[in-house]
Structure 1
Amino acid sequence: MTAIVLHDMGAHRESTRWFHTAGRAAAESGDRDLHAWVLGREAMVPLNFGAAAVAGQITEQARAVAAGRATAATALVTVVAARAHAARGDRAAALSAIDEAEGLLSRLPSDQAADTWFGYPEQKHHVHLSQALTLLGETRRAYASQDRALQLSRRPSVMTRSLIALDRAACLAHNGERGEAARIAGRAYDELPAAHRQGLTRTRARSVYAAVSGVPDAQRLREVLEAAA
């Protein structure tokens, strides 16, 4: 849990150290599901901070540990692998992993699909799927996952809603609607509490800004990014 909080704060080196400790403890315990889950969560650190190749290596290790069982951990590492492949530009591998994750979700028993720290509920699936499909430029499918994730998200889920909005902005920019993309991204980032404007959300917002930085509507996004620096 400490590693995850540090990751969300943008302290990726500290987060990685905590994940390594958790991974060793999980491996020593003999709990393959816990070990795979820790590795899947660890892979999100390099994935979210620009090291997709490293994330891919970790997810492959995690998938080997998970051994294809229909568990929440297997579904998680599979969809994170899809994101890593998408970030590296390996379209075929990403789409294959997405299909596999969809199949796993449909086979999960109710306790594995529960909305808990170690579960893999449909809402969590669509949040990850949104990012993978956005990176692939599969905007129609990405929009559908974004809509479904929002339907399933609890109102207090500020981070989730902001990340989905930033994915939507990236899709709009990909489709040439750069003004609307800038407005959505600027509003989503501006509405975040100050403590949430670092780490993952800042990385995503900067990525959107890079795609829209010539349009007048990008001014507000630039201002809030500068204010959070």
Structure 2
Amino acid sequence: MDDLRPSPAQIPDRLLNDPVFAHAARVRDFTTVFSMAREHGVSFYRIGEAAGMKPERVAKVARGEATVTTLDATERIADALRIPGAFLGLAARPWEYSSPRPHPEADDGDDPMNRRQVLRGALAAGLTTTALTALRETRQSLDLALAADTAPADLSDLEAAAEAYGYGYHGQVPTRFLADLVSDFAELRPHLDSPQPVAARIRVCRTAGQMAGMIAIVLHDLGTRKEARKWFATASRAAQESGDRQLHAWVLAREAMVPINYGAPQAAALLAEQARHAAGSQPTAAATLAAAVAARAYALSHQQDQAHEALTAADALMERLDASARADTWLTHSEQKHHVHLSHALTALGDTRRARESQQRALELSAPTSTMTRALLTIDAATCTHQDGDTEEACRRIVTVLTTLPDAYRSGLVRHRATDLYHSIPGRRHHERAVHELRDVLAA
């Protein structure tokens, strides 16, 4: 198979003999290094591709508008341009021992076809010293690529951004939150387009899975369920490529909440069970979430035995979660979120006493800025009130919620859940003042 790693953007030997270039390398003046490399036929794009830098940043460094300060970046530039370590005050680079610089007019030794011919010629005579050396160098070159931490510097920033988004809206309007999240997600594309070491590729795919999943969550909250499903599919592919089974289980469990909230609980149960299988039996955030979502799906589809089994499993897993898995983020499973799920499941089961206990606990743990969560809990509480026989009070409570919410929160999931309650009220009562008022608010 052809080597898919970018070829070094090797500068010609004559440049290393240029005293101006040698001095610039010695003092790590990469403005001069990049400018002279370009003058000798090495484009900024090729430098960036080989060194794990954006071409725009390479150009900025060449114009003196940016600098290279980290040791990691210096080493990557040395390897990309094939500048011997001594020129930059570094130890000899690994490739200096096995891959001496060829003559400028020689064939490119990194060319896959040329390398294949060299190996065939060496092996034709059997496993001689020459053949074993060629095999060793081939293996070592891959070992270096696998071991090297040559991920672009801004990948760490994007990983940190994904973690920050995981803390949720914090009072931000969902549409604005979504715009920022999508903008950062778009910055992952160049990392996926360019070849990466295995470890870096895993990090990119994991971050992409997290961000795509969170974009899907916001779209779901805003009521755009078709787009949400598409983003969940993207998140699922990224999670699978990363090899992170817990992330994949989290994506599936979160995706199951779309059909739960939009009238397809049996489809939701299938997805939730896939998530439970992917997560395994260990007490993880994803496994706990998957069980809780399964309980909601089964409760809504009137499968009481399965719902109670899933609730018991969710509670048992929750008790065993460690502190990090209990953090209050979208990517973990906090006690507050656990009770939000239990509130919906128990409300759907008609267990209003236990549902109210979970509603009260979830509200105690919810931040004042958790506008949507508090609204959904209030709707659950109103539904319990309706189930206990006071439909008029239930309607009044939901009208209050809908009329006091900011405009950005009145559509989507909140409106759908309020509509579900309205549809559960017998038609003979629709003429009553409170029910009529709820209908008018929903229509508006």
Distance 2:353 2:433 in 1: 26
Letter in 1 for 2:436: Q
1:91-102 equivalent positions in 2, closer than 5 A: 91-102=304-315
CA contact 1:185–1:208 (8 Å) conserved in 2: no
CA contact 1:189–1:221 (8 Å) conserved in 2: no
3-state SS of the aligned residue for 1:69?
A: coil
Say whether 1:32 aligns with 2:249: no
Say whether 1:15 aligns with 2:253: no
Distance 2:269 2:411 in 1: 24
Select which of 260, 281, 295 maps to 1:68.
281
Query: How far did 1:221 drift?
Result: 1.6
Match of 1:113 in 2: 326
Query: How far did 1:210 drift?
Result: 2.0
Match of 1:218 in 2: 435
Letter in 2 for 1:177: D
Match of 1:4 in 2: 217
Distance 2:218 2:423 in 1: 27
Query: How far did 1:222 drift?
Result: 1.6
Query: How far did 1:42 drift?
Result: 0.5
Query: How far did 1:193 drift?
Result: 1.2
Query: How far did 1:191 drift?
Result: 1.4
Letter in 1 for 2:348: L
Query: How far did 1:155 drift?
Result: 0.3
Higher deviation after alignment, 165-174 or 212-221: 212-221
CA contact 1:186–1:218 (8 Å) conserved in 2: no
Deviation by residue 1:65-84 (Cα, 9 ceiling, x = unmatched): 00111011110011000000
Unmatched runs of 5 consecutive residues or more in structure 2 = 1-213
Letter in 2 for 1:154: A
1:137-152 equivalent positions in 2, closer than 5 A: 137-152=350-365
Match of 1:158 in 2: 371
Deviation by residue 1:124-176 (Cα, 9 ceiling, x = unmatched): 00001000000000000001000000000000111011101100111111111
Distance 1:160 1:42 in 2: 18
TM-score, normalised relative to structure 2: 0.50
Select which of 29, 44, 50 maps to 2:257.
44
Aligned residues: CA RMSD: 1.0
Match of 1:175 in 2: 388
Q: Is the radius of gyration larger for structure 1 or structure 2?
A: 2
Query: How far did 1:51 drift?
Result: 0.8
Higher deviation after alignment, 170-179 or 217-226: 217-226
Structure with greater helix percent: 1
Distance 2:424 2:252 in 1: 31
Distance 1:117 1:136 in 2: 25
Distance 2:237 2:246 in 1: 13
Letter in 1 for 2:333: Y
Q: How many percent identity over aligned positions? A: 50
CA contact 1:3–1:15 (8 Å) conserved in 2: yes
Query: How far did 1:17 drift?
Result: 0.5
Select which of 175, 195, 199 maps to 2:408.
195
Query: How far did 1:8 drift?
Result: 0.6
Match of 1:81 in 2: 294
Query: How far did 1:96 drift?
Result: 1.0
Size of the alignment, in residue pairs? 227
Distance 2:299 2:310 in 1: 10
Distance 2:325 2:389 in 1: 40
Say whether 1:133 aligns with 2:350: no
3-state SS of the aligned residue for 2:326?
A: coil
CA contact 1:173–1:211 (8 Å) conserved in 2: no
Letter in 2 for 1:216: R
CA contact 1:10–1:200 (8 Å) conserved in 2: yes
3-state SS of the aligned residue for 2:414?
A: helix
CA contact 1:133–1:141 (8 Å) conserved in 2: yes
Letter in 2 for 1:219: H
Distance 2:282 2:345 in 1: 22
3-state SS of the aligned residue for 2:369?
A: coil
